[in-house]
A and B are shown apart, each in its own frame.
Chain A
Amino acid sequence: MTETSTETYETLYTRLQETVAQLEVGNLPLAEALALYEQGVQLAAACQRLLDSAELRVQQLQSDQPDDQ
């Protein structure tokens, strides 16, 4: 079975949403705002990369009865 070594799209996307929401709250120290922005840019890029490069992975379970295949 293929393992997903990297983070899943939904995780990245959720984090991107959270990052944007945090940055939108406002009143952050500049350094913190910049760090959040940087993180957001990277997350957005990672999401896009995943969407661009994804290929459907199919794993087949073994049936108890071989002729069921």
Chain B
Amino acid sequence: MTVNIISISQITSYLRELLENDVMLSDIWVLGEVSNLKRASSGHYYFTLKDDAAALDVAMWRTYTSRLTHNLQNGDAVLAHGRVSIYEPSGRLQFYVDMLQPAGVGLLHARFEELKQRLAAEGLFDESRKRPLPPLPHRIGIATSAQAAALRDILTVLARRYPLVEVVLSPCLVQGERAPDSISAALYRLYAQDVDLIILARGGGSIEDLWCFNEEIVARTVFASPVPVITGVGHETDTTIVDYVADVRAATPSAAAEQAVPDMAVLAEAVTVLRQQLDEAMSAQLWMHQNALHSATATLQRQNPALWLARSRQQVDDLVQRATRQVRYLTERRQLQLDGLRQQLITLSPYATLHRGYAVVQRTSDGGVVTAPAQVQRGERLRLTLRAGELAAVAAPPAPIEEQHTDD
């Protein structure tokens, strides 16, 4: 048999690991009474938390003690948050506290945090399920105290901004033990009404006064609402659980009313704008019809028979002119051709030869043209036709042309 011997360090370090890996011990709220309080010069606090039967050593580092809002005293009943581990040098169990509150307030906060985390995990605060507010609500349900200033504030704002809206008031207690049930019942009464949205409101007060708005039943009732819910609880700094569940969280009751309805002045402006648009659209329509009429009239004008007649007359005139021009052109062309032929004729006529100084010789007796000496008798009468007139001649015996030249 072997004996397994381990060191003290090994034990404490093993225990520390065991403790620090424990989910419950690493995030716990502990209620107890402060005793044996030591404020170290470093700013750290060391004390003992005890109840009737047991005690726990506590260390609270300076980082956390500096956040304390009240002066811690021996004998204080407190609610402390932190983790449990082991202080190895002494081997003692130690509670390392990071948050500490007087028990009354602390308990409320602890409950608040616990509920907030639980409902968040369930999806009650999901942004995706926040509904948009109706732009022009017709009936608004209000759950609040019938006597409180919050209601007067809300009604004043509604009357000023949008008096068209109808208000359905569902009175409830907004303080005290019965308030959560009363609020829940008042909301369910509104759910049965035909309202477009609901305002859940309460004026400012202490954290205890506002506590009913941190109750689970109220949160779940708001979550069940068939219409958007606006919360206006307390002052601007107060945030309650229902604020997280609501579709819209307003800082105060008045602010909730402001968000619930549009401003009438803006609406009136919108009506004016629409009225102008209407006029403009009508003008456009009229202009369009006027235009159509104009163009129809113009078309009609173009179809006027008198106009057509005048145009026809014009066409006839044009044709006559064109015909006349054509006739003149053809006549002139023929004249030119004629002149040309005449000129040609003149050139080819025998008289043209006469012009150049030649003469035509004819027998006077029968007019026969003499082209050879043998065609005439000696002493026969001849007629010589010249360019400018005629000559009478008598045929003489012909002499050879060469001889004549030689004789001369």
Assembly CA distance A62 to B165 (angstroms):
20
Query: Is there contact, CB below 8 Å, between A26 and B171?
Result: no
Give residues of chain A (12-47) contacting chain B, Cβ–Cβ below 8 Å.
13, 16-17, 19-20, 23-24, 26-28, 30, 33-34, 37, 40-41, 44, 47
Residue of B nearest to A22 (CB): B281
Give residues of chain B (161-199) contacting chain A, Cβ–Cβ below 8 Å.
162-173, 182, 185-186, 189-190, 193
Contact bitstring B312-329, A, C-beta under 8 A = 1, else 0: 000000000000000000
Query: Is there contact, CB below 8 Å, between B271 and A68?
Result: no
Q: Is B268 an interface residue (CB 8 A)?
A: yes
Query: Is there contact, CB below 8 Å, between A24 and B277?
Result: yes
Q: DSSP class of B's interface residues: helix, strand, loop or mixed?
A: helix
Q: Is B334 an interface residue (CB 8 A)?
A: no
**Which chain B positions have C-beta within 8 A of A5?**
none
Assembly CA distance A50 to B162 (angstroms):
11
**Which chain A positions have C-beta within 8 A of B159?**
55-56
Query: Is there contact, CB below 8 Å, between B271 and A51?
Result: yes
Q: Is B28 an interface residue (CB 8 A)?
A: no
The size of the chain A interface, using a CB distance under 8 A, is 39
Query: Is there contact, CB below 8 Å, between A58 and B155?
Result: yes
**Which chain A positions have C-beta within 8 A of B186?**
61, 63, 68
Query: Is there contact, CB below 8 Å, between B271 and A48?
Result: yes
Query: Is there contact, CB below 8 Å, between A55 and B171?
Result: no
Query: Is there contact, CB below 8 Å, between B171 and A61?
Result: yes
The size of the chain B interface, using a CB distance under 8 A, is 41
**Which chain A positions have C-beta within 8 A of B278?**
16, 19-20, 23, 37, 40-41, 44
Query: Is there contact, CB below 8 Å, between A24 and B167?
Result: no
Query: Is there contact, CB below 8 Å, between B164 and A26?
Result: no
Query: Is there contact, CB below 8 Å, between B166 and A59?
Result: yes
Given contacts A20-B274, A28-B285, contact A56 B267 (CB under 8 A): no
Given contacts A44-B275, A51-B271, A61-B169, contact A10 B136 (CB under 8 A): yes
**Which chain A positions have C-beta within 8 A of B168?**
59-61
Q: Is B130 an interface residue (CB 8 A)?
A: no
Given contacts A30-B289, A40-B278, A51-B264, contact A61 B189 (CB under 8 A): yes
Known: A9-B136, A23-B281. 18 other contacts (CB 8 A): A19-B278, A20-B278, A20-B281, A33-B286, A40-B278, A48-B268, A54-B162, A54-B264, A55-B159, A58-B167, A61-B168, A61-B193, A63-B185, A64-B185, A68-B171, A68-B172, A68-B186, A69-B147
List 7 A-B pairs, Cβ < 8 Å. Answer: A16-B271, A16-B278, A23-B282, A34-B282, A60-B146, A63-B189, A69-B146
